[in-house]
């Protein structure tokens, strides 16, 4: 089944953010592998929660860095992050209640789509601005 793989084009040019994104990719692939192996709802939920928790941790890091850099679109990113957290909470309910493979497929498709858009589009928007700030600060 479809997974997501890290590619150099995903880099935002800031090591700690790239490391977070790589970690999110690993955690999402772990969940996908568990679904493929039909490991059961408790394993799905445990892996989903690891992904969810790390997403919250990563968002907090991004917001803190954007604030330090004085990034002007911080509020828009913060709202986007909040929307995703709410959507992921809804997805967790689906993970727990699902008895069909189709439901896990829906969750997987959502997560793959979201993470790709987050890394390749949303975060590229702040990349230059944060690189500029943190390279000067270093």
Instruction: Pick the closer one to Fe ion by CB: 10 or 123.
Output: 123
Contact by Cβ (8 Å): 129, 74: no
Least separation in angstroms between residue 101's CB and Fe ion is: 29
Task: Convert 122-131 to b/e letters by CB count within 10 Å (16 or more is b).
Answer: bbeebeeebe
Indicate which single residue of 31, 123, 130, 133 sits in contact with Fe ion (rule: CB under 5 A).
123
Least separation in angstroms between residue 17's CB and Fe ion is: 6
Task: Return the HEC string of 13-70.
Answer: CCHHHHHHHHHHHHHHHHHHHHHHCCCCHHHHHHHHHHHHHHHHHHHHHHHHHHHHHC
* 48 belongs to the binding site for Fe ion (CB under 5 A): no
Instruction: Pick the closer one to Fe ion by CB: 62 or 98.
Output: 62
CA distances (Å), 46 to each of 2, 39, 66, 71, in order? 20, 11, 30, 35
Instruction: Pick the closer one to Fe ion by CB: 60 or 109.
Output: 60
The one segment of 3-11, 33-41, 72-80, 118-126 that binds Fe ion by CB under 5 A: 118-126
Least separation in angstroms between residue 136's CB and Fe ion is: 21
The one segment of 80-88, 92-100, 108-116, 117-125 that binds Fe ion by CB under 5 A: 117-125
Contacting positions for Fe ion (CB under 5 A): 123
């Amino acid at each position: 089944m479809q997974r997501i793989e890290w590619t150099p084009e995903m880099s935002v040019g800031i090591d700690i953010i790239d490391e977070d994104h790589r970690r999110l990719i690993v955690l999402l692939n772990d969940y996908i592998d568990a679904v493929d192996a039909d490991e059961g709802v408790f394993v799905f939920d445990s892996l989903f929660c690891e992904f969810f928790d790390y997403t919250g941790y990563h968002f907090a890091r991004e917001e803190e860095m954007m604030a330090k850099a004085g990034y002007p679109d911080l509020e828009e990113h913060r709202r986007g992050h909040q929307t995703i957290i709410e959507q992921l909470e809804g997805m967790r309910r689906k993970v727990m209640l699902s008895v069909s493979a189709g439901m896990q497929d829906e969750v997987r498709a959502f997560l793959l789509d979201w993470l790709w858009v987050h890394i390749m589009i949303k975060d590229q928007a702040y990349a230059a601005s944060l690189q500029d700030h943190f390279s000067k600060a270093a």
